[in-house]
Structure formats: structure tokens, C-alpha cells
Structure 1
Amino acid sequence: MRRSPKDTEESAAIISRRGLVLGGGMAAFAAVLGLRMRHLQVDQADQFRLLAEENRINIRLLPPARGQIFDRNGLLIAGNEQNYRVTMVRDEVDDPEEVLRAISRLIPMTDEDLDHAREELRKRSRLVPVTIADRLSWEDLSQVAVNAPALPGISPEVGLSRSYPRGADYAHIVGYVGPVSDYDLSRIDDKDPLLLIPKFQIGKTGSENKLERQLRGKAGTKRVEVNAIGRVMRELGRDESQKGANVQLTIDTRLQNFVQARLAGESAAAVVIDVRTGDLVSIGSAPAFDPNMFVRGISVKDYGDLTGNKYRPLANKAVQGTYPPGSTFKMVTALAALEAGEITPDETVYCGGYTEVASRRFHCWKRGGHGKVNLRNSLKQSCDVYYYDLAQRVGVEKISAMARRLGLGERHDVPMSAVAGGLMPTKAWKKENRGNDWVIGDSLNASIGQGFVLASPLQLAVMTARIATGRAVSPRLVKSVDGVETPEGGGEPLGIDEEMLRQVRGGMFAVANETGGTGAATRIVDKELRMSGKTGTSQVRNISKAERARGVFRNADLPWERRDHALYVGFAPSDAPKYAVAVVVEHGGGGSTAAAPIARDIMLAAQTDGVPPLSAYPSSQRGRISSSLKKLKLWDPDQPEAPDSQA
């Protein structure tokens, strides 16, 4: 059909309009494309020219500042100090050996330093900055900076390094940091790129190690432009690093310093816990060491002196060491017997110096015996035969169950290295671990804290806190993280009858305050500060029948390693407990003579927030006590320097 002129005209008009729209769209697209091309080719020409030259832009990590650690009162105990260092990026250097030689002519570097630098450059990625020299003086850093244009790939930097202003006082609690080693990388499942930076410091021991993730922070990055010979020309941009969290511990520095000073000269440990909150206000272990030595690079000689010392200064005896608790365990056996209804507080047991079971004699520490003793006097005079009798009635299973309720045999959750779980044995445990059946003699030994029973000073302090309060007190070491308070450890009621606890506390009061008590010589005469406690002496050797016949050797006549451990546990004030303490003196001999005097001094210092007042001691002892307290190397708040290492 033939179209009319009018239809033809209308079709042409429609086509023209569509063509204009399409053409306009194409023109607009071309214009936008042209503008974009102009932006890329003109406005961003420099940036894309650099990007096109692959090795001209480098991305570098910015290490974060490590979080600081403070005591309960806000005193710094682990901080950061400026560290001048020189780094090299292998990818930016044609001849690293030549550059190393040039650096060694500018700053002091030994052959060992150079060999270490070569080894690090060989092992690490070509793009990772390797520390060639650190802890430089400002003058040495300036020498490198002035000659930087002639040293490709070299960067003088100001970084941060860890410092411990309280020195040995916190060595076993906070621990120390050190460079990431191949061993560290092999044992931790951590993909943080910071760990690949040579000489980047991470926590090695103590809270530094256990709180590593919180303290470390997060890396930042910076983009830098380098020229043809690897010299950094300018910084193109950066994302700042995030500082690690600040941590506040529950430890009181003044008391911690007193405890460490009081333990000096011994191989010993002491733990003080606030029974109301579970706060660990002091954790002492002696001898100690200066953790700054490890951060700065400890010498072979110094490390050998530490590892070769028979008193083991590197070990934290307060939480890692486990010892037979001896007579400090007797409260556990007493509570197990009371709860089982096997004895009443007034019921007596006759002690003739020994108990004979299965043709074997189990001796009391007092050769002639104590005669008839009830619960209170059994604790006061520490009669072993009384507890041998209870063990036969109650059995080890109930004794072990009570011990666990009181915090023994439990690995407490505190951020410190190698916290020990101790050992509260049962019949099943012996069968599984020793391959033998439990015998009645095992129960008798366990009842007085000997045999298989093992406990750390931390566990003994928790046990004492629970007896003092009747609550499941849990130890707390971290008070807050970045200002956010952590839960206290006051605990819920243990479910032990309060009258039973009162009877046991009465026996502990008699130990420390009544004539004839094994700890009465170290009593506190100030009624507001009086302490209740229990002495303990644990054997580390077997006493033969022949030795008993001719007379048991005195500890003073034995080599140090064969002497008994001395222990003491206590709480104060007796009427309204605030603190509990546990002291262990390795191979110290008797608990009443070696551990109890230390515990008394520490408890007085905790209650008075300072040097123990002489008025709290018996008048006959004040002259001697005054002299001994003056000899202690105590912290003076007006003197910022750290105390000497007591290694």
C-alpha cells in the first residue's frame, strides 16, 4: 500500500527526533569520557605514572605503641621509651653489603651485629624493613640521617621500646617482652603481619605474654614514593596505627616492694589477697631479676648467672611452684571431718607420739606426743596424730573434695606464666597415674599435707581467704582494661556451715595468739591488727627408722637442698578479715621460725599501708625488728629510679 505524503512526513519527523536523542546521548557520553580521561591523564597523571612504575610505591607497616601497665593506684609499671634505630629495606638496595659497611663506618657496630643484620636480611621478605641497629644515641642517629642521601634503603627512625621502671619488683608478675623469634612464630596461631617485622617486641612471660593481644594494638600503614635508587622521596598517605590497651593490675606497688624486700636473701614466695574482692595485692617471688636486661638484650654471662643460680630466680615460685603444704593443710582435713559428722569440736584424740597402721608407725612431729587434744588444740599445737585419726574416719575422697572447694588442686585463672594446678589426689588418680591401689597410709600422709598433695602459694592464699570468709573467693589480677573494670572475685557462699568455719578459725587464732601456739612467737599485739594463722613444715626427704632411733637430724645440720620447706598461712584482722597471706620459704626449716615472721611483717604492711609499726610487735622484739626493718631496701616514692635487682 502506498503511503501518503503526510505519513511520510510524520515518519521522517519521528526518525529525526530519535536521531537527535541518540546523538545527544552519544555526545554526552563522549563528553563524560573525555572529562574522565582528562582527569586521569592530567589531574592524576603523577600518581598513575608512579603506579605504572611498579617498584616506585611501597606500603610500609606502622607499628602501634604498646599498651601500658599500671598498678592499682595508677603508678606506671610497664611503659614505653624512645628508641633510636636504623632500618633497611632489602628491595631498595642494590648492594646491601656495601651499605652495611658504610653504616658501620658511621656508628659503632661489632662483627656480631653485622652478622646478625645479614642473617635478618636473608631470612626476611625483601619488602620488610629490617632493623640494622637500635638503641642508638641521638648523635649516632644524626650521623646516619646526615648521610642518608648516600645510603639507599636506609631509614633513621624513632621508635618505642619497653621499659620497666619498677625493675625486679614486678619481674615475675608483668614479665618482659622480646623480639619475635622463629620459635614464637612456630607455636602461635597469629597471622598479624606485625609479627613479621624483625625485632618487633611481644610478651615473652608474665602478664605481658598472657595479655599480648590487648597490649599489642593494631598496625597502621603508610604509602611512600621512592626514587630509582630506593631513597624515600615523600609520603603519599597513611592510616595511623591503633595503640594497645592500657591495663591496670590489682597489685599495690608499695606493698609489692615491701614483700620483695622482705623475701630478699631467701628462695621464697608470698601471696597477699584481699579477701573481700579477690584482688591480688602482692605476688612475691625471690630471688628476682631485672626484666629490663631482657628487653635491652641480656648478655650470655648475665643469663648464665640467672639459669645457674640454685635459687632459680627466673621461676615464679608464687604461682609456678608447688609444694607439700604440710600442716597448713590441716584445716582442710578438719572441715572435711566436721562436715561428714565424724567428729565434734570438743571430741578428743589421744596423741602418744605416733599412730600404728598396718605394722607401720606414722609419727607426730612431737616425739613424746601431745596427750589428749580436741580440734582447737590440734590446730594450735599442730598435732599430727589427731589428723591421722581423722583420715581413717573420713577417707581421702572427702578430704580431696573439701580441698577443691577451698581452691586447692585448681588452676586459677590469672594472666601469668605457667600457673600450676597443684595436686589433690584420689584413689582413681593413684591408680591411673601410679598404677597402684590407694592404701591407708596414703590417706594418713594426705591428711597432714604430705604424700602426693601439692599446692602453690597462690592456692594456699585462696584457701585461707575462703576459710576466712566462707565464700568462694577467686583471685583477680587485672583490675581494668582501658578503664573498663573486670569482675571482682568476692565469690558466692561455699555452703560450709558457718559454725564449722568458726571452730577452725578459732584454732587458727590460737596458733598465732595463745601461749603454746606454734605461731605465738610471731603474734601481733595490736588487737585491731591481730592475725590468725597456721604454721607448716613439709618434708622433702624420708626419715629412716634408724635416724629416728639415734635422733632426727636438725635442718641446720643438713645440706640446703635436703632441709624442710617452711610455710605459713594467715588472715587479718582476725575479727573482720581483709587480707589473707601465704608464705613458702624453700628449705627454710620450720614454718614457725622461717615463714611466720615474714608473714607477720607482710600482713602488718598490708594493713597499715606502709612500714609495719613497731607498736604492733611484742615489746621484747621491737629492738631487733627495728634494726631488721631499717636494713630493707624499700621504695621511696620521691626517688623515681627502680630498685636494684635482687637476683
Structure 2
Amino acid sequence: MRRSPKDTEESAAIISRRGLVMGSGMAAFAGVLGLRMRHLQVDQADQFRLLAEENRINIRLLPPARGQVFDRNGLLLAGNEQNYRVTMVRDEVDDPEQVLHALARLIPMTEEDMERAREELRKRSRLVPVTIADRLSWEDLSQVAVNAPALPGITPEVGLSRAYPRGADFAHIVGYVGPVSDYDLSRIEDKDPLLQIPKFQIGKTGAENKLEHELRGKAGTKRVEVNAIGRVMRELGRDESQKGANVQLTIDTRLQNFVQARLAGESAAAVVIDVETGDLLSIGSAPAFDPNLFVRGISVKDYGDLTSNKYRPLANKAVQGTYPPGSTFKMVTALAALEAGEITPDETIRCVGYTEVASRRFHCWKRGGHGRMNLRNSLKQSCDVYYYDLAQRVGVEKISAMARRLGLGERHDVPMSAVAAGLMPTKAWKKENRGKDWVIGDSLNASIGQGFVLTSPLQLAVMTARLATNRSVTPRLVKSIDGVETPSGAGEPLGLSREMMAQVQGGMFAVANESGGTAYGTRIDDKSMRMAGKTGTSQVRNITKAERARGVSSNADLPWERRDHALYVGFAPADAPKYAVSVVVEHGGGGSTAAAPIARDIILAAQADGIPPLSAYPSSQRGRISSALKKLQLWDPDEPKAPESQA
């Protein structure tokens, strides 16, 4: 059937309209596509060119500034100083060997330095900047910067390095930092990418190590564009690093300097604690060393000198060293017996110079004996036989329990390296560790701080603080972190009767202030500063029957390593305790002659907040004391430069 002209015309109109709509749509789509292509190719050309050349964009870590360490008065103990250095990124260098030799012509580099750099470049990721040289002078850094176009992959930088302005005085407390080693990486569970940066410094010992998480801070990042030969063209963006927290310790710099100076020449340790708060005001260990040597890379000779020294300067004797406490332990035995009701303060025990148990004689230090002794006089004259008798009555289990109550045999939670737990033996301990049964002789030895008993100077200071206050004083080394105060160590009451504690405190007062007391020669004349204390001498060798028969050899006649350790513990003022002190002099001989004079000077310095006043000493001793104090290597705490290392 033929279509009418009208139908044909209507069909053509419909087709034309559809074609127009489709054509318009296609034109619009093409226009949008063209505009988008122009935007991508022209407006965003630079950004997409960088994305297309992704291998030329590097993301680099920004190490944070390490938190600083201050003393209780705000004096700087560990800070950061500028360090000029040169780094290389292996991925940006075609021939690293050529670049190293070119660099060596500009700055001082030994063959050993070159080999160390090669080793680091081999070990590290090709994208990680490796420190090729550090601690450069400004002139050397400028030489590198001027010649930068000829040194692909090399970047001159200004970084930070640790510095210890107080030198040896705080070596054992603050510790030191050093570059991350393979050993560090193998034992640290922390996967912080900062640890992969060659020569990045972390805490190795002391508070630097134990407070590493707080002090380190958090890394930042920056995105940089590099050209075809590895030169950085521009920085594309960055996220800044976060500085580590600042830490304030409880240590008093002036007192710490006095303690270290007073211990100089000895292999010794001393601890001073504020009995009201538990704050550790001084932790001395002698000899010491300069921690800056380790930060800068200690020489083989310097390290050899430290490790070969028989006085062991690298060891922190105050918290790591453990020693038989000797007669400084007698207050523990006395309190155990008093609490158990096995003795009264006025009851006397006769000392004839020895006690015989199971056909074995246990000797008193005084060969002829002390005669009749009550509690006060037994402490005053340090009669061993009195405590041998108490040991048989009360038993080692109660003695050990009292010792732990007073802070012995406990690893105190202070952020320092290798804090020792000491040893308070029991019957079960001996069976488990020695495979033998406990015998009565073990109890007698323990009662006077010998045998298996081991304590650290820190524990002895805590014990003395608890004796002075009848509270469970806990040592505190960190005062605050970023201004946030840490909990006090004042402690709760020990639960011992006031009368019982007064008897022991009275005996300690007699030791240092009454004629016949073992520390009377080192008494304090100023009544407002008087000290109560206890001497101790611990044997490091066995004395044979033959030697006793012919006369026990004096310490002066023995080699240094075989001499007795000298100890002293005390608190002051005696009538209102504020400070407690413990002193251990390795192989020093007698506690009254070697340790007590040091303890007296230290506790006077603590009370005077400076040099001990001569008026506090007996008049007959002032001339000698004055001369001795003038010889001490002391310095103004406001000056950042400390005396030379004691090592």
C-alpha cells in the first residue's frame, strides 16, 4: 500500500528531530570530553607528570628531636646539640663508589670511614638515607653544599645529637644513647621505622634506655622530587615529627656532684633518699665515665681502659651491685625477734666472743667478747653473738619476711639498667637452688648479714628510710614527664609498733652519738643535724682456724680484692628524719673507718644543700675536714661544663 505524501512528510520530520537530538547529544559529550582532556593535559599536567614518573618521588622520614632530661631543679642533664652531617640515598646514585671518592676529596674521610659507609649502603634499603659522615664542621658542610651538583644522591643536613653537659656525674643514672645496632634490632619488638635509619640514636643504658618510649618522639615524613641524577628538586609536602617528652628526675645536681666527688678514688656507691617522699636525691657510683664518649663513638683505647679497670667504672654499683650487708642487717633481725616476742629490749645476752653450735664456733668480731648486751648496746657496739642467739630463737623465715618488709630482696621499680633484686634466703630457696637442707649455721650467718644474704646500696637506703619513718617508703627517680607529676613514694605504715621501732632507732642513735658506739668517731656535733646510723663490715673471704689461732690478718695486710667491704647506713636529722643514706666501699676494710666518714659528709651536704658546714664536725676534726673538702672536684651547678671524667 502506497503511503500518502502526508505520512512521508511526518516520518521525515520525526527522523530529523531524532537525528538532531542524537547529534546534539554527541556534540555535548565530545565537548565535555574535550574540556576534561584539556583540564588533564594542561591544567593538571605537572601533577600527572610527577605521578607518571613515580620513581622520582621519594618519601623520607623526619627524625624527631629527643626529649630532654632535667634534674629536680630544672638543670639540664641530657640535651641535644646541632650535628652537621652528610647522607646518601643509594637509589639516587648510579656509581656510589665514585661519589664516595669525590666526597672524600672534600671532607676528612679515612678508609675505615669509607668501608663503614659501604657496609651501611649494602645493608640498608636503597631508599633509606645513610649517614656517610657526621659531626662535620660548618666549613666542611659548606664544601659539600657548594659541590652538590657533582654529588648525586648526597644531601648535607643539620641534625641533632645527644650531649651530656654534666659529664661523669650522671653517667650511671641518665646513661647514654648510641646508634641502633643489629643486636638492638634483633631484640626490640618495636617496629618503629625510625630504627631503620642508620646511626639513629636510641637509649643504651640508664634512664635513656628505660624511658626510650617517652624520650624518642614520633617520626614525621616529607615528599621530595628528585631529578634524573638524583638531586632533590623540591619538597612536595611534609608532616612534622613530634618531639619526645621531657623528663624531670628527682636527683639534685649539687648533691650528686658532691657525692661523686666524695667517692672519687674508691670503688664505691652511695644512695641518698628523701624519707618523706621516696625521692632519690643522689645515686653515686665510683669510678664513673664520660657518657659523651659513647655518643660520639668511643675509641678502642678508651673502651679498653674502662673494661680493664679493676674498679669497674661501667657498672652502676648503687643498683646493680649486691653485697653481704654485714652488721647493717642487724636491725632486721632485731625487729623480727621483737615482733615475734622472742626478746625484750632490756633482756641481756652474754657475749664471750663466740657461739658454739653443732661443734662449730661462730665468732664475734671482738675476740674477747662484749659481756652482757641488751638490744641498744648490741647495736651500739655491733655485737655478733647477740644476733646469733636471736637467730636461733626466731628462725630464718621470720628474719627473711622482715627483711622483705623493709625493702630488701626486692627489685625496686626505678628506670635504671639491671636493677638487682638481691637475695633474702629461706629454707625452700636453699633446697631449690643449692639442693641442700637449711642448717642452723645458715641462720646464724644470715642474722648478721652474711652467708647467702645479698643487698644493693639502693635497697639499704630504702631499708633505712623505712626504719626512720615506719612507712613503706618506695624509691622514686622520675619526678615528672612533660610536666605531669608521678606518684609519690611516701608509702603506707609498715604496721610495726611505734615502741618497737623506737628501740631500734635508739640503738642506731647510740651507734653514732654515744661514746663506745662504732661510729662515734664520725659523729655530728650540731644537734640539729645529728645522724642515727649503723656500721657494717662484710667478709669476702673465709677465715681459717689457723689464722684465728695466730691472729686474723688486718685488711691493710691483704691484697685489695681480699679485703672486707665497708658499709654504713644512716638517717638525719635523728629526731625528725628527712634524709637516709647508704654507703658501700668495695674492699674498703671497716665500716666505721671507710664508709661512715663518707656517709657523714654526704648527709651533712644533703641537710646543708651545699658544702657541709665545718661547725657540724667535732672541733678536733675541723682542720683535717676543711683541707679534705677543699680538694674535692666540685663545680657550680649553674655552669653546664662538668669536671673531667673520673674514669
Q: TM-score, normalised by structure 2?
A: 0.95
Distance change >3 Å, CA 22–CA 476, structure 1 → 2: farther
Taking the aligned partners of 2:497 and 2:503, their CA distance within structure 1 comes to: 10
1:502-541 alignment runs, 5 A limit = 502-541=502-541
Deviation per CA, 1:156-207, whole angstroms, max 9, x where unpaired?
Answer: 0000000000000000000000000000000110100000000000000000
Distance change >3 Å, CA 392–CA 136, structure 1 → 2: same
Shift of 1:571: 0.3
Taking the aligned partners of 1:331 and 1:54, their CA distance within structure 2 comes to: 74
1:561-572 alignment runs, 5 A limit = 561-572=561-572
User: Hey, what does 2:11 align to over in structure 1?
Assistant: none
User: Hey, what does 1:294 align to over in structure 2?
Assistant: 294
User: Hey, what does 1:219 align to over in structure 2?
Assistant: 219
User: Hey, what does 1:471 align to over in structure 2?
Assistant: 471
1:108-119 alignment runs, 5 A limit = 108-119=108-119
User: Hey, what does 2:592 align to over in structure 1?
Assistant: 592
Distance change >3 Å, CA 320–CA 35, structure 1 → 2: farther
Shift of 1:26: 10
Distance change >3 Å, CA 355–CA 121, structure 1 → 2: same
- Verify: 1:330 aligned to 2:325, yes or no: no
Taking the aligned partners of 1:335 and 1:25, their CA distance within structure 2 comes to: 102
Shift of 1:54: 2.3
1:624-635 alignment runs, 5 A limit = 624-635=624-635
User: Hey, what does 2:275 align to over in structure 1?
Assistant: 275
- Verify: 1:448 aligned to 2:448, yes or no: yes
Taking the aligned partners of 1:28 and 1:589, their CA distance within structure 2 comes to: 103
Distance change >3 Å, CA 196–CA 374, structure 1 → 2: same
Which secondary structure does the structure 2 equivalent of 1:106 belong to? coil
Question: What letter is aligned with 2:57?
Answer: I
Taking the aligned partners of 2:315 and 2:471, their CA distance within structure 1 comes to: 30
- Verify: 1:408 aligned to 2:404, yes or no: no
Question: What letter is aligned with 1:504?
Answer: V
Query: Where in structure 1 do 4 or more consecutive aligned residues deviate above 4 Å?
Result: 17-39
Which secondary structure does the structure 2 equivalent of 1:315 belong to? coil
Give the share of equivalent positions with the same residue, in percent: 89
Distance change >3 Å, CA 470–CA 110, structure 1 → 2: same
- Verify: 1:62 aligned to 2:62, yes or no: yes
Shift of 1:414: 0.2
Shift of 1:23: 11
User: Hey, what does 2:579 align to over in structure 1?
Assistant: 579
Question: What letter is aligned with 1:114?
Answer: M
User: Hey, what does 2:8 align to over in structure 1?
Assistant: none
CA contact (8 A) 2:179 2:201 kept: yes
Which secondary structure does the structure 2 equivalent of 1:284 belong to? strand
Distance change >3 Å, CA 367–CA 30, structure 1 → 2: farther
Taking the aligned partners of 1:528 and 1:384, their CA distance within structure 2 comes to: 31
1:163-178 alignment runs, 5 A limit = 163-178=163-178
Question: What letter is aligned with 2:209?
Answer: N
User: Hey, what does 1:640 align to over in structure 2?
Assistant: 640
Taking the aligned partners of 2:461 and 2:243, their CA distance within structure 1 comes to: 36
Taking the aligned partners of 1:521 and 1:401, their CA distance within structure 2 comes to: 34
Distance change >3 Å, CA 362–CA 23, structure 1 → 2: farther
CA contact (8 A) 2:509 2:533 kept: yes
Shift of 1:642: 1.7
User: Hey, what does 2:48 align to over in structure 1?
Assistant: 48
Taking the aligned partners of 1:544 and 1:32, their CA distance within structure 2 comes to: 107
Distance change >3 Å, CA 548–CA 45, structure 1 → 2: same
CA contact (8 A) 2:253 2:637 kept: no
Shift of 1:123: 0.5
Deviation per CA, 1:579-599, whole angstroms, max 9, x where unpaired?
Answer: 100000000000000000000
Question: What letter is aligned with 1:478?
Answer: V
Taking the aligned partners of 1:376 and 1:31, their CA distance within structure 2 comes to: 107
Taking the aligned partners of 1:355 and 1:57, their CA distance within structure 2 comes to: 84
Deviation per CA, 1:188-241, whole angstroms, max 9, x where unpaired?
Answer: 101000000000000000000000011000000000000001000010100000
Which secondary structure does the structure 2 equivalent of 1:582 belong to? strand
1:101-500 alignment runs, 5 A limit = 101-500=101-500
Taking the aligned partners of 2:25 and 2:515, their CA distance within structure 1 comes to: 108
Question: What letter is aligned with 1:349?
Answer: I
Deviation per CA, 1:234-282, whole angstroms, max 9, x where unpaired?
Answer: 1010000000000000000000000000000000000000000000000
Question: What letter is aligned with 1:230?
Answer: G
Which secondary structure does the structure 2 equivalent of 1:528 belong to? helix
Shift of 1:464: 0.3
Distance change >3 Å, CA 411–CA 637, structure 1 → 2: closer
- Verify: 1:612 aligned to 2:607, yes or no: no
Unaligned runs of 5+ in 1: 1-16
Which secondary structure does the structure 1 equivalent of 2:113 belong to? helix
Which secondary structure does the structure 2 equivalent of 1:161 belong to? strand
Taking the aligned partners of 1:35 and 1:538, their CA distance within structure 2 comes to: 93
Q: TM-score, normalised by structure 1?
A: 0.95
Taking the aligned partners of 2:18 and 2:515, their CA distance within structure 1 comes to: 116
Which secondary structure does the structure 2 equivalent of 1:257 belong to? helix
Unaligned runs of 5+ in 2: 1-16
Taking the aligned partners of 1:485 and 1:31, their CA distance within structure 2 comes to: 68
Which secondary structure does the structure 1 equivalent of 2:568 belong to? strand
Distance change >3 Å, CA 31–CA 458, structure 1 → 2: farther
Distance change >3 Å, CA 490–CA 53, structure 1 → 2: same
How many residues get paired?
Answer: 632
CA contact (8 A) 2:87 2:132 kept: yes
